[in-house]
Amino acid sequence: MKAAKSTFIYLISSLIEKGSAFLLIPFYTNYLSTSDYGILSIIQAIIGIMTIFFMLSLNGAASRYHFDGNNLYRKFHYGNIFLFVTINSILFTIVLLYFGDKLFQLFGNIPQYPYLLFVIVIVYGGSIFNIYQLKLQMEHKAISYGINNIVKFLLSSSIAIYLIVFLNKKADGVLSGLMVTFIIFLVFIFFKLRQEKIVFNLNKKLLKRNIKYSVYLIPHNLAALAMQFLDRFFISNMLNLAQAGIYSLGGQISMMLGIIASAINNATVPMVLKAYKDENYIYLKELTNISVIFLSIIAIFLGLFSPEIIHLVSSKEYFQAYTIIPILSFYFVLQMYYFMTSSVLFYVESATKFVSIATLISMILNFILNYLLIPIYGIIGASIATMLSMWIVNYIVIFIANKYIKVGFNHLKLHIIIVISFVLSNINFVIDLIFFIKVILFISSIGLLLFFEKNNSLLFDFKRKINEKIIAKIS
């Protein structure tokens, strides 16, 4: 009961924080030019990458070894991690001071100052904040966790709005809001850790164990992050920062599906693992079907009404973003599909190593496809590359997972649902429909998908005919 309550609080606080962030999109897109928005998205990418190097994925070791001892042990355990992350951050700050100009040139010739300062402070502050939040999770302090997340969002947003509106700070204002917020939280966290009598130390045994565990997570985390930002890297270099800003807006709106997919995945992990343990594969299949259909319906809505959504939340210079929303939305539908099929790899310990391999393959595919498609199709090519890389890696994961446990996912049904939904979502590219017709089409698509889910006879008949043709050819 306590775990369920904590999970609910985590989900609600996350949805409030991230959902509220979407409410700021109209503000940012009306006050920031496409180039400003592009700079902001690139700096966020750099922050994400540098966070992995500053933190060395030690948040994984923090949670993995949390329960390995008593309260005294945990005081040393977390003190060891906080202190090492601080020392490591100082070392990487020195590296950035020497090579930061080359890094910023690589990401679209963004000026090193003041953005280097933003990156250093936000990355370090964010690393300490994330580890502290993880500590609260492990201690089942869900309310404190939720309050911290919401306060972080409200404080950083308030500062950013003030700086943008009254001091005309543009992208600098958003980053300044985050920087000041993390400085405040650094002071708060330090006093909380002292109050809890956390022992800051560099115990060799603890340090060696933590690094040994976390170092294997770094390639996976880097590849997963690269998947999110490779497209923006190529767009800023092959096209320009304005196009990167337009693409970033389309990605943010599509991210609504990503938040829902992650929330469903996080909330159902305990039940999914129990289903594998009990060999309750029917539950896994039904959960997968429902999740994919639910996200497909939302993706159809975002695709059909993407022009109206862009008109509603942004200025006319961002209008091109509507073209990529239907495509990127299905990246997150496929991600939900991936969450379910890859769950086998997380359940079977000997198969877990393939998670990193699948992520790396996906990153390489994304890199190649972006390189090939962006010069031809621009930001639409980037969105296609992102979606296709996730689709292909799904096939790889399904193939590997079947070697360990044959759950019996309805892959044919799910693929047909996704393809039908994708076509309906992208109908704006074929014909310009009036709003009323779009509403009718959306309602009809919901009925079609639900009918297809409830009536398996059509699918079985389709499969039977395919099998008969195959047998006829063989004989």
Taking only the tens place, the pLDDT of each residue in 35-70 is 888 888 888 888 988 999 999 989 878 877 887 888
Q: Are residues 180 and 262 in the same domain?
A: no
- Structural domain count of the chain: 2
Highest mean pLDDT among 174-188, 240-254, 349-363: 174-188
**Distance separating alpha carbons of residues 121 and 104, to the nearest angstrom:** 16
- Whole-model pTM: value is 0.74
Q: Are residues 268 and 322 in the same domain?
A: yes
Is 225 contained in some domain?
no
Q: Are residues 15 and 112 in the same domain?
A: yes
Count of other CB atoms within 10 angstroms of residue 135? 25
Is 222 contained in some domain?
no
| pLDDT at residue 200, as a whole number | 95
Provide mean pLDDT across the span 337-346: 82
User: 79 φ, ψ to 5°?
Assistant: -60, -40
| pLDDT at residue 88, as a whole number | 96
Q: Are residues 205 and 239 in the same domain?
A: no
CB 338 within 8 A of CB 397: yes
Count of other CB atoms within 10 angstroms of residue 85? 21
Closest CA to 31 of 159, 167, 168, 162: 168
Is 52 contained in some domain?
yes
Is 221 contained in some domain?
no
Q: Are residues 240 and 184 in the same domain?
A: no
Q: Are residues 208 and 256 in the same domain?
A: no
- What distance, in Å, lies between the first and last C-alpha atoms of the chain? 59
Please provide the DSSP assignment of 233-266 as one string: HHHHHHS-HHHHHHHHHHHHHHHHHHHHHHHHHH
Q: Are residues 347 and 446 in the same domain?
A: yes
Taking only the tens place, the pLDDT of each residue in 105-138 is 776 667 788 899 999 999 999 999 999 998 987 7
pLDDT band at 467 (very low <50, low <70, confident <90, very high): low
Is 358 contained in some domain?
yes
**Distance separating alpha carbons of residues 177 and 174, to the nearest angstrom:** 5
Mean of the per-residue pLDDT values of the chain: 84
Q: Which of the listed residues 214, 248, 263 is the one where a domain comes to its end?
A: 214
Is 279 contained in some domain?
yes
Q: Are residues 180 and 63 in the same domain?
A: yes
Provide mean pLDDT across the span 431-452: 86
Residue range(s) defining the domain that contains residue 359: 230-474
Is 219 contained in some domain?
no
Question: Do you find a cis peptide bond into 307, omega within 30 degrees of 0?
Answer: no
Q: Are residues 235 and 203 in the same domain?
A: no
Q: Which of the listed residues 214, 244, 268 is the one where a domain comes to its end?
A: 214
Q: What type of residue sits at position 251?
A: G
| pLDDT at residue 472, as a whole number | 55
pLDDT band at 402 (very low <50, low <70, confident <90, very high): confident
Count of other CB atoms within 10 angstroms of residue 258? 21
| pLDDT at residue 109, as a whole number | 66
Is 224 contained in some domain?
no
Q: Are residues 268 and 202 in the same domain?
A: no
| pLDDT at residue 460, as a whole number | 47
Per-residue b or e along 208-233, where b marks 16 or more CB atoms closer than 10 Å to that residue's CB: ebbbebbeebbbbbbbbbbbbbbbbb
Q: Are residues 106 and 185 in the same domain?
A: yes
Q: Is the dihedral of CA 18, 20, 22, 25 positive or negative?
A: negative
Taking only the tens place, the pLDDT of each residue in 7-20 is 566 667 766 666 66
